[in-house]
Structure 1
């Protein structure tokens, strides 16, 4: 499909055909245009000439994304030409719900049109008019528009003023200075954490340049990323998006990705896959760390080591991208701004302004009464978790809700119980009980459970950060059971069983069993006992729990101290 406009009435002004030609294409017409070498050559020249263009407007990025996601997104491309020369370009896509956004969607950190003239608003205004005529009731969202792009028309032009809403966000960046990163790494708390990591094995920092090596580590990086973002934002992109891996692998082959690993021996502790060129990189792709090492701040250490490497490679800026994450504030050495531009009807503009005004009012009110910014952020996160909890419980249905509620009440009646585990029990037929397996935890099934997926993963992240370890059992893509233990054996003196016990007491917490694993739950406990016994020098040891699972522990072959 294509729509050609050679004469557009914009604000009562007719644009002569000789001056401007705007053409909108969709679907296969866009994909066919991507095979036109002359068009791609003009695109490259325009991209190089545009002062605000980023890698996310480069034909390599956009064309690759269009092709990979053609079944999920409708390509929409608007081009402006004058005397046969490409003078403006806006690459978009529409999802199955009708939302129009920049090509690349949430994998394109910056979504913006490109022109050679920094002060030219004519192209974008004409392009949006054509877009509205073709898709009259569709919302347009561009997140983020970089600094330096003129958005005067959204405030001054009567046609766009009521329909457009612009939200400005801080954009933290790291200016690349090797001396700065060296100094940061020498700070006492970071030096201590690095030394603790070194005690676990050989600590190394690796830049990946070979495709086969990247393929070999990709799944581990995706797993770490999904766990972290699932806990923080309830988003597991690689698990829910079957095309994301293919897209990033193709970008790597085109030298658009910059990939580094922080390792202990062969274990990947943290990773960063950024998008960009030799001059500037953007934090978009994969940013992950192994949650089991969270207490050592591997992500911060990784960024500082990455900064030193980028200085040696000649880069000037690492864009941390807009967002209120605490680690970005820690790392930022400078700030710019970026804008979210949404375009709809008059009601859309009004509601967005109202919502943003209310949010700013609450922030200012909190500050005025002495609530610090980080406390306010924690309150917002708690609210998001609570809202997700309510939605999760609503989906369970009334009957399930009350059943879960009464089970929750029963579980609050806690009594500490100490179970004796003697070595030498039969080990045949045991389950595959894994330690700190993120893949298992991401297979948590929230259906029929009191906790939503995000609550479960957020709790797991907190426990990892506190030094805890998780032992889990999963089959057929579902987590069936798991339990947490502290990072070190508990001191006997902490418990009333001090006079009856010898050896280690291991405190169990957050014991979970999926209904589908209930019949084999005693076998899981026995498998857990076998794993824990391997590292225990005593002939017996003790499991302390406050869960009312006496029958399961007895079936596992443990006996209780009274």
Structure 2
């Protein structure tokens, strides 16, 4: 498909033509020459990056390139795109992984984009094209000359930058991450090295992403893993490093090399080591290493990531460009902008609609009658009821001598990302993983059992604590630093297999091995199955937390069994008051 714009010939290359281009050494050299001649070009516009991305995403995207040639046949402009095979979406090459998307051109071909966008509007059945973000220095003075019903929208985005000449590592390069074993930064230069750790990197990335915004980059897009492995095969394109304690990856970075700078790409860290700030240590060590390797800038990439921007030494702005080829697309964009600036009353109405939608999901999950019954039971319990939460204790000397539970995994975050709520009453994936990250960062340990791509059981262990809570708002004072087993959950369809009992055995062994002399576990008194499992292991009733509800008010108190009252029993008795 060819069009002439003034003295330039604009051609849209389809998938077969792009395949021929990528196998033609002369045309690839021509593309490379244009990259060198373009003042604003980045690594994301190079043939090496495009070749890798096209190869990995071939099943879902068909390559599409818009090129412009001068009258003498020289390549002077190029825009690498891709069209969705399952929809009519057109994206820039690298989306969504490339933080810089745009065209490359010689300084004499600044008007190319006018003809290219007009050609895309005529030849492609798409409503819009978004380039996120244009490389710094991309000319925008052509925008006022756009014609043919095409509309544009731009948005400035802050970009943090780190001058590597201004960064110093304040402590030793071998910061102590766990009290005994020094951490070390390892650079990965070949596919086998990256392949050996990428699954751990993916788990850390998905856990953190789901906890923050509900997204799992690797799980949601399985091709992401292959993309990084393919990119590292391209010489000089990828910089990858991991921070290790022993053989454990506690933090990692994988970013694209862009001339004298490196883009801060994928950054992960283990929540279990969060107390010692492995992410910050990784960035400091990485900055020093990049400086020693001759790089001048660490590009934190455009966006509002506060954790990244706090590390910046200075900042500038780049732009996102959206091109609307159809009026309906621009109208939808304008309506969305109005909604974003809607008054408080409108947003409140939208919030009500969201809550109504949540109720609908719950009803569709449980059915109308069970949903109404569960709601009614919850209301009645808070209106008039007496609830008991039992706390059980077991001395380390009485821990059963068994290897039961060896099949459960400890702190396996790749199991956690397999969580799915069984019903609308349970935590969402985002809520569950956000809570899991917080607990791991606090030093708690999780035990999991997964099968067939599903998390069937999880339970937690808190070490060296003097406090334990209850489901009804109590706080138990424990004798001495103790271990607390809590938050046991088994997927309904996996119950009856002994998972909770095996989990209790495993946690008791680990707690005893860590030097604890007393272990505790709590359960609601009405949970007969869990109480049976707990008592069968050997736990004895130590205390009960009582909650008496009367028309929305609650009175709490704690009573102690014959195992001996806690030193702070008198203080807990003072909770026997209406609130």
Please report the TM-score for the alignment, with normalisation by the length of structure 1. Answer: 0.83
The range that moved more, 448-457 or 349-358, is 349-358
Tell me, yes or no, if structure 1 residue 398 matches structure 2 residue 379: no
2:513 to 519, 535, 540: 535
Q: Distance in 2 between matches of 1:388 and 1:437?
A: 34
The one-character-per-residue Cα deviations of 1:126-160 (angstroms, maximum 9, x if unpaired) are: 11111111114432111111221122343453546
The one-character-per-residue Cα deviations of 1:380-403 (angstroms, maximum 9, x if unpaired) are: 9xxx99999986775555352764
Q: Distance in 2 between matches of 1:104 and 1:76?
A: 12
CA offset at residue 93 of structure 1?
0.8
Tell me, yes or no, if structure 1 residue 553 matches structure 2 residue 527: no
> Larger strand proportion, structure 1 or 2?
2
Aligned to 1:27: 15
1:348 to 326, 329, 333: 329
1:147 to 122, 136, 154: 136
Aligned to 1:373: none
Please report the TM-score for the alignment, with normalisation by the length of structure 2. Answer: 0.80
CA offset at residue 478 of structure 1?
1.2
In structure 2, the gaps of 5 or more residues are 543-560, 562-579
Q: Cα distance 1:100–1:405, how it changes in 2: closer, same or farther (>3 A)?
A: farther
Aligned to 1:85: 74
The one-character-per-residue Cα deviations of 1:192-242 (angstroms, maximum 9, x if unpaired) are: x98652514122122222432222112111221111112112222222333
Q: Distance in 2 between matches of 1:278 and 1:505?
A: 54
> Do the aligned partners of 2:91 and 2:130 also contact (CA within 8 Å) in 1?
yes
Q: Cα distance 1:421–1:401, how it changes in 2: closer, same or farther (>3 A)?
A: farther
Q: Distance in 2 between matches of 1:175 and 1:361?
A: 40
> Do the aligned partners of 1:553 and 1:559 also contact (CA within 8 Å) in 2?
no
Q: Distance in 1 between matches of 2:431 and 2:353?
A: 11
2:160 to 131, 149, 172: 172
The one-character-per-residue Cα deviations of 1:32-77 (angstroms, maximum 9, x if unpaired) are: 2211112111100001111111110010000111122111102111
Aligned to 1:425: 400
Q: Cα distance 1:519–1:404, how it changes in 2: closer, same or farther (>3 A)?
A: farther
Aligned to 2:278: 298
> Do the aligned partners of 2:188 and 2:194 also contact (CA within 8 Å) in 1?
yes
Q: Distance in 1 between matches of 2:352 and 2:489?
A: 21
Q: Distance in 2 between matches of 1:553 and 1:30?
A: 66
CA offset at residue 518 of structure 1?
1.8
Q: Cα distance 1:525–1:388, how it changes in 2: closer, same or farther (>3 A)?
A: farther
SS of the residue 1:21 aligns to:
strand
Aligned to 1:279: 260
Where do 4+ consecutive residues of structure 1 move more than 6 Å?
384-393, 411-414, 492-498
The number of residues matched between the two structures is 519
Counterparts of residues 237-386 of structure 1 (less than 5 Å) = 237-255=217-235, 256-277=237-258, 279-284=260-265, 286-344=266-324, 345-353=326-334, 355-356=336-337, 359=340
Aligned to 2:44: 56
> Do the aligned partners of 1:163 and 1:348 also contact (CA within 8 Å) in 2?
no
Q: Which has the larger radius of gyration?
A: 2
SS of the residue 1:202 aligns to:
coil
Counterparts of residues 108-123 of structure 1 (less than 5 Å) = 108-117=98-107, 120-123=109-112
CA offset at residue 484 of structure 1?
2.6
CA offset at residue 269 of structure 1?
1.0
> Do the aligned partners of 1:65 and 1:247 also contact (CA within 8 Å) in 2?
yes
Aligned to 2:490: 513
Aligned to 1:375: none
SS of the residue 1:253 aligns to:
coil
Q: Distance in 1 between matches of 2:11 and 2:320?
A: 25
The one-character-per-residue Cα deviations of 1:482-531 (angstroms, maximum 9, x if unpaired) are: 12333533359998876xx8676433444322112222344344334444
SS of the residue 2:79 aligns to:
strand
Q: Distance in 1 between matches of 2:389 and 2:24?
A: 72
Aligned to 2:35: 47
SS of the residue 2:155 aligns to:
strand
> Do the aligned partners of 1:481 and 1:524 also contact (CA within 8 Å) in 2?
no
In structure 1, the gaps of 5 or more residues are 9-14, 366-379
Tell me, yes or no, if structure 1 residue 474 matches structure 2 residue 450: yes
Aligned to 2:97: 107
Q: Distance in 2 between matches of 1:141 and 1:482?
A: 42
Aligned to 2:63: 75
Aligned to 1:456: 432
Tell me, yes or no, if structure 1 residue 214 matches structure 2 residue 194: yes
Q: Cα distance 1:317–1:42, how it changes in 2: closer, same or farther (>3 A)?
A: same
> Do the aligned partners of 1:280 and 1:315 also contact (CA within 8 Å) in 2?
yes
CA offset at residue 406 of structure 1?
6.2
Q: Distance in 2 between matches of 1:61 and 1:400?
A: 48
> Do the aligned partners of 2:444 and 2:461 also contact (CA within 8 Å) in 1?
yes
Q: Distance in 2 between matches of 1:359 and 1:144?
A: 21
CA offset at residue 546 of structure 1?
5.2
Q: Cα distance 1:389–1:429, how it changes in 2: closer, same or farther (>3 A)?
A: farther
